[in-house]
Amino acid sequence: MREGNTENPENTQQVHTMGRRNFLSYLLGFSVFTTLAGVLTPIIAYLIPPPSGSDGGGNRMLVGTTQDIPVGHGEIVSYGSQPVVVTNTPKGVKAFSAICTHLGCIVMYEQDRQIIKCPCHDGLFNAVTGEVISGPPPSPLPPIPVATDGEDIYIGAA
Ligand code: FES
């Protein structure tokens, strides 16, 4: 003889219905959870700032060597999320924010004239001082701390 409610077809039907309901409840809960996680994760990531140093917040960072950027050359490097133009001049290695002070375009180093140039409106900057030579930029490129250790070039505060 069998035990319990499994002999009665109505009870068996009820057991299957409860199983389906539970399954659908779990499925609905999982869907709500994944939807909320998908919406909230980018919002939380946006609201919580990245750790200091990963966004140009002050940590010293090796960006190359004087072999990579010899005298008379310049290069755009990333300092966290900040673009920086590093120039190796006869007066030493210099670094400036690579964001043009006019409308925010990324500048470039022009080796032929050994100047920093903004391609958007032909703003020209001095590669040694960051001062505006000509064009619409209203102010110099902000300097970034730079240091050499042997051939290594570091930017950011020590
Ligand atoms: S954005 Fe650089 S000169 Fe206009």
Residues 137 and 84 reside in one and the same domain = yes
More confident residue, 148 or 42: 148
- 41 and 75 inside one domain: no
User: Best mutation site among 106, 121, 132, 141 for ligand 1, i.e. most ligand atoms within 8 A of its Cβ?
Assistant: 121
Residue 131 Cα distances to 8, 99, 112, 135, 156, angstroms: 91, 13, 18, 11, 20
Listed in sequence order, the residues at least 6 apart from 54 whose beta carbon sits closer than 8 Å to its beta carbon are 80, 81
Residues 112 and 148 in one domain: yes
Is residue 89 in a domain? yes
Note the pLDDT of residue 1.
Answer: 45
* Overall pTM surpassing 0.75 (yes/no): no
Based on the fold, state whether residues 116 and 142 are members of the same structural domain: yes
CA atoms of 69 and 57, how far apart (whole Å) = 24
In a domain, 16, yes or no: yes
Is ligand 1 within 6 A of the CB of residue 105? yes
How far apart CA 44 and CA 140 sit, in angstroms, is 36
Owning domain of residue 9: 4-47
Ligand 1 contacts CB of residue 121 (under 6 A): yes
Give the number of the atom of ligand 1 that is nearest the alpha carbon of residue 123.
3
Q: Is 106 in the pocket of ligand 1 (CB under 6 A)?
A: no
Atom of ligand 1 nearest to the CA of 101: 2
Confirm whether 53 is domain-assigned.
Answer: no
52 strand-pairing partners? none
Query: pLDDT tens digits for 66-103?
Result: 999 999 999 999 998 899 999 999 999 999 999 999 99
Atom of ligand 1 nearest to the CA of 104: 1
| Span 11-54, pLDDT tens digits | 667 766 778 788 888 888 888 888 888 888 777 777 765 554 44
Do residues 27 and 87 both lie within one domain?
Answer: no
Which candidate, 83, 89, 108, places its Cα nearest to that of 148?
Answer: 89
Strand partners, 93: 88
Instruction: Tell me the three-class secondary structure of 60-81, residue by residue.
Output: CEEEEECCCCCCCEEEEEEECC
Same domain, 88 and 38: no
Q: Is the pLDDT of residue 148 over 50?
A: yes
142 falls within a domain? yes
Eight-class DSSP state of 9: H
What pLDDT band is residue 9 in, cutting at 50, 70 and 90? low
Q: For the chain, what is the domain count?
A: 2
Using CA atoms, how far residue 47 sits from 7, 42, 78, 79, in Å, is: 59, 9, 23, 21
| pLDDT for residue 55 | 45
**Is 27 contained in some domain?**
yes
Q: Is 58 in the pocket of ligand 1 (CB under 6 A)?
A: no
